[in-house]
Amino acid sequence: MSTPNPRGRVLSGMRPTCRLHLGNYHGALRNWVRLQYEYECFFFVADWHMLTTGYEDTSRLPEFVHEVLIDWLAAGLNPGVATLFIQSHVPEHAELHLLLSMLTPLGWLERVPSYKDQQEQLKDRDLATYGFLGYPLLQAADILVYRAQHVPVGEDQVAHVELTRETARRFNHIYGRETDFEEKVERAIKGLGGRNTTLYRQLRRKFQEAGDQEALERGRALVHSNTRLTVADRDRLLGYLEGTGVTILPEPQVLLTQTPKVPGLDGRKMSKSYGNTIELREDPQSVERKLRAMKTDPARARRTDPGEPERCPVWDLHGIYSGEDTRKWVAEGCRSAGIGCLECKQPVIDKVLAEVTEMRRRAQEYTENPELLRDIVAEGAEKARDTARETMEEVRRAMHLRAD
Ligand code: TRP
Ligand code: SF4
């Protein structure tokens, strides 16, 4: 087994909506690319989640999954450092979802804001299904099955992570008590051996009696650094240190991504459903054509009319792609009618073209050698399953299912 990353584990997923666009990139992917070098990262394509809103025609699902994976690699996700996989290749997600469903009150799911919102928005589909109601619980299982500490998501997913935390708390509360906990933990403390046994007791006392946070951190580090501990004993020692029972499923935190606003070509938020996107691997001519036609401040009907950048979506693109000097040139030139809109767009066009060209270059290797992608997701699923299996053993044990 590899050593755990001291900064912890990150998990996130994305529904396979076919080809990704610049909104997906600047809103999420770019952040993942950075995180993969800082944390132990698991990223997966949430194909089961896709079924919750699109269960009737699944024929194009394999293609959608494929395109998203290629886009991830094109954007710079590195299968050498991050674990990339497909949700349905790891059945442990489904098993945990099932078990969690037994203890999740219906009201928790009905109250998640996205439940009613989505039903309103997708009126043409029948979303009065069991699976759709369970969407956030499946997401909770996705996260908890890896015992991830951090979940990088946007604002719209915060309620789902909150539900995940409540679910974990409820699970630990119900199943985190072992009848012979004290005995087992005592044995585990002795098992630490000599100085570490004494040190563990000292650190626990310092934290429990004086609330010494540093002692808690050192205690945790002591437990984590012991590679001979079984997972069950490690959990007992961590739980006892903090004065709780066994934490079988730790509560994850949202890693809120500060994302820039990515405008679509019509000025609304870039979104596939508005048909106003630029794809990550779009052909350069099309990129240029679209950007040249992109909406600007309507006040600038003629070249001589001054404009206001704050009312122009191109200005938001400058916020993403341009440095301070260029932005200053834009703001002044726009307000004084010193520059024309096409002139103003040119630096953005150049930057987007460079970005898209680089993505297309990275993708080429994978489109030309399909077996590469197959190997990446097979290896990813294997790695993911190793971790997920460990959690499920704990979960089953705690629930008295299969005592082996
Ligand atoms: N619901 C998320 C979205 O629509 C996708 C998702 C599924 C996810 N499972 C997850 C995100 C687990 C983070 C963690 O964007
Ligand atoms: Fe928008 Fe630039 Fe035209 Fe001003 S000059 S309206 S910022 S495109």
Give yes or no: residues 22 and 61 share one domain: yes
Give yes or no: residues 55 and 159 share one domain: yes
Is 300 touching ligand 2 by the criterion CB < 6 Å?
Answer: yes
Is 318 touching ligand 2 by the criterion CB < 6 Å?
Answer: no
**Distance from the CA of 273 to the center of ligand 2, in angstroms?**
25
Residue 98 lies in a domain: yes
d(CA 368, CA 289): 27
Residue 268 lies in a domain: no
Nearest Cα residue to atom 3 of ligand 2: 341
pLDDT at residue 4, rounded to an integer: 60
Residue 67 lies in a domain: yes
Q: Measure Cα distances from 119 to 10, 52, 113, 132, 224 in Å.
A: 30, 12, 10, 9, 44
Structural domain count of the chain: 3
Residue 65 lies in a domain: yes
Extended beta strands in 120-233, E state: 150-153
Q: 269 has which bridge partners? A: 263
Residue 44 lies in a domain: yes
Give yes or no: residues 172 and 31 share one domain: yes
Backbone angles phi, psi at 244, to 5 degrees: -105, -175
Give yes or no: residues 42 and 90 share one domain: yes
pLDDT at residue 83, rounded to an integer: 97
Domain that holds residue 221: 181-242
Backbone angles phi, psi at 178, to 5 degrees: -105, 145
| HSE (side-chain half, CA atoms, 13 Å) at 225 | 8
User: Cα-Cα-Cα-Cα dihedral of 359, 58, 32, 78, to 10°?
Assistant: -60
- CATH number of the domain that residue 342 is part of: 1.10.240.10
Tell me how crowded residue 90 is: count the other CB atoms within 10 A of its CB: 24
Instruction: Answer with the one of 193, 224, 242 that is the final residue of a domain.
Output: 242
Nearest Cα residue to atom 9 of ligand 1: 139
Give yes or no: residues 143 and 200 share one domain: no
Burial 346-383 (b: 16+ CB within 10 A, else e): ebbbebbbebbeebbebbeebeeeeeebeebbeebbeb
pLDDT at residue 404, rounded to an integer: 54
Per-residue pLDDT of the chain (404 residues), as tens digits, is 445 666 789 999 999 988 999 999 998 999 999 999 999 999 999 999 999 888 888 999 999 999 999 999 999 999 999 999 999 999 999 999 999 999 999 999 999 888 777 777 777 777 788 999 999 999 999 999 999 999 999 888 899 999 999 999 999 888 887 767 888 889 999 999 889 999 999 999 999 888 888 999 999 999 988 888 887 788 889 888 887 777 889 999 999 877 888 999 999 999 988 999 999 999 999 999 999 999 999 988 899 999 999 999 999 999 999 999 999 999 999 999 999 999 999 999 999 999 999 999 999 999 999 899 999 999 999 999 999 999 999 999 889 897 55
